Amino acid sequence: MTKEIITFSPDELLPFARAAFVRSCGFQADHDKHRRMSELAERALEDIIDQLNPTAIVSAFDGDALQGDQIIAGDVSFHCPLFSSFDPKHVEWIYAFMLTVGEFETSLKGITSTVFADMWGTVFCDAMVEALSDQLGAKTIVYPGFYGFPLSSVPQFASLLDSGRIGIRVHASYVTTPIKSCSGFMFASTEPLPLPENTCDNCSANKHWCIVCKKNQNMQKKSML
């Protein structure tokens, strides 16, 4: 099984990251306070961008790896109820991936600068996913923690891909370091693969680890007291 390391420069990711950042913040150019906040955000970007080291590790499997509600990747089996809704005839390649923007820390003072630096890390991570999926020709992405794909799959990805080669470690809580990292499967297909709407009505998640389900269960318990 081949594991390919793919690197990106922060500059090539910046256009997507900047657009995503602006959407997240909702800055308006004609608003004085927004202009001041935008200037602070730009300083936070300038402070961290040279620290970023966007790197991914990827392994490719042909469509036969999809078997019902599981993907058999080498010696590792990944289970997710969503997989059973994908038509194997349309799946050409399945890419297991882990990626990270690396460790970074702002030298600027103040909580606002810290928040902006964290947001930049997030949008650069999102930009990496976009760039990697474009490079692989994969339009469908499934991450642990979504669509019933358990978070316990994260250490499986780390083991399968030898994530230490790009500096990613997975802890007992399934949190990764560096924090701005992610993992999952990208699917290259001849036809669009169906994804549920982002609503609880269509969710196949396990209620025992879903934050929303836990909150609703706690509210129901309190109402019965």
How far is residue 153 from each of residues 24, 92, 146, measured CA to CA in Å? 28, 22, 11
Strand partners, 120: none
Phi, psi of 170 (to 5 degrees): -115, 130
Residue 194: the pLDDT is: 87
Give the torsion sign (CA, 158, 163, 169, 175): negative
Q: Using CA atoms, how far apart are residues 129 and 136, in angstroms rounded to an integer?
A: 11
The 3-class secondary structure across 17-34, one letter per residue, is: HHHHHHHHHCCCCCCHHH
Domain layout of the chain by residue ranges: 4-194
Average pLDDT of adjacent 10-residue blocks, the chain of 225 residues: 93 95 82 84 96 98 96 95 94 98 96 95 97 96 92 96 97 94 97 79 57 54 49
Supply angle C-alpha 113, 116, 121, rounded to 5: 130
Which helix (H) or strand (E) covers residue 126, if one does?
helix 111-136
CATH 3.40.109.40 fits 4-194, yes or no: yes
Residue 199: the pLDDT is: 63
How far is residue 182 from each of residues 122, 217, 221, measured CA to CA in Å? 10, 28, 34
